[in-house]
């Protein structure tokens, strides 16, 4: 679980070949502010494809204000 003030963010990886999001990972935004792209296996196309970084929209990266 991410600690308070942690620089690591959860990201999703989307395939350029099929457009599906199959992989999730974390990255340190201070060391690598650019979007990452990794070559991984795409089970839909059944080949290796380039995966690029997108946001994981589950609300885990943003701190919600207290009421």
CA 58, CA 62: separation in Å to the nearest integer? 9
CA 13, CA 6: separation in Å to the nearest integer? 21
Q: Check residues 53 and 55 and name the one with the higher pLDDT.
A: 53
Q: What's the domain count of the chain? A: 1
Output the six-digit token pair for 2: 């991410």
pLDDT score at 57: 60
Rounded to two decimals, the pTM is 0.70
In a domain, 22, yes or no: no
Residue 40's domain comprises 30-58
In a domain, 2, yes or no: no
* Residue 21 pLDDT class (50, 70, 90 cuts): confident
Q: What are phi and psi of 15, to 5 degrees?
A: -75, 135
Helix/strand/coil for 9: strand
């Amino acid at each position: 679980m991410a600690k308070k003030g942690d620089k690591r963010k959860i990201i999703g990886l989307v395939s350029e070949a099929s457009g599906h999001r199959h992989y999730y990972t974390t990255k340190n935004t201070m060391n690598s502010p650019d979007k990452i792209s990794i070559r991984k296996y795409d089970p839909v196309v059944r080949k290796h494809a380039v995966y690029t970084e997108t946001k994981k929209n589950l609300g885990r990266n943003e701190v919600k204000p207290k009421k």
